[in-house]
Structure 1
Amino acid sequence: MIKPDTYSDRELLIALHCGDKKAFEALYFRYFAPLSSYAFKKLQDEYVVTELVQDVFVDIWKKRETLDTDGEVAGLLYAMMRNKALHELRARIIQSKHIEEFTQLHKNDTADVLTDGLYARQMEEKMLQAVNRLSPQCKNAFTLSRYEHLSYKEIAEKMSISVNTVEKHIGKALQHLRQEFQEYHLPVIILLGLMELAIQK
């Protein structure tokens, strides 16, 4: 094998251009450490630096037939190393940004779920309290209608009261719920949905 200090860079470059593997090995041993030191200052990752330096020499070997033999080997190697290091840094920034965005999104989603869940539980609890404040007969008629889904006639038979009385009880219950939740501006259909959730607890 050619010793690194035996030939000049230009002589090694000319030999490499002709496909001389020993010239390639000589350049590798001559510049591996300097390129690694240069890249490590930018990347601070020994494993990544080793991989990138090896990539530089792989690229040099692949491009050997198109190399400018009047050019400067050191300048070419450092330029290739700089480009790979910059590409790695850009990739890290993009990855870091994506991780940050994902983390923030996850935090926001979690916060929304917790907030929505807490609000829903508060509404259900308030609904249950509101229903419990109804008179016994009114509460019974209303829950039979909303929870057991009985018709007014069935409720009347079950409670031994008239259908007209059932209608009055349920109407009174709805009016009471509207008043209880008027500050929330909730439509009746939502109130009834909350009613079913509260009863199922």
Structure 2
Amino acid sequence: MNVSVDQNEEKLLVARLREGDHLAFRAIYERYADGLLRRLLRLTRVDHIAEDLLQETFVKLWEKRETIDPGLPVKPWLYKVAENLVFQFFRKLALDSRLQNEMIEWYGKENRIAFEEELFSREKQDLLQKAIQQLSPQQKQVFNLCKLEGLSYEEAASTLGISPSTVSNHLVKASASVRQYLRQHKDSIFCLLSLFL
């Protein structure tokens, strides 16, 4: 299909959706549900959880339809909502031992270790991202370049157009802020601290 025709068709669908048109909603569902379900299955690895989160994604689309901009593609909006729902699910899972046991059953006993590592990894990533979001814009850039991307002070300085000593100063402050944030949330997860000591 011609890309511009496809984009124009989607704009019309979203405009109709905003007005409460159920047929437009169904058309958007049929266009994106299969791809979203595949993405959710990759993230959760459990059919019924992925299907539940898919339905919840489209419920949110319907509930938030009046706030969606018809001039923007709806696909990124759907994928962002779906991924946020996955993170919310794993956060809830981290606090609910009954739900953890249910998920382990679905994963199968042979996959228990892999499941627990996946859960731990997701919580780690989520907590680290929250810690990084607390930083100033410059500290965030320096932290991402040096700690997460592995650039040297000189490489980060060249990328940002600042001196290596300024990079060092920002990194010291950023690392201290991240450590403090992680310590405050040590009941959720504590081993991340070793990355920044």
Q: Which TM bucket (shorter chain)?
A: 0.3 to 0.5
Q: TM-score, normalised by structure 2?
A: 0.44
Higher relative contact order, chain-length normalized (CA < 8 Å, sep 6+): 1
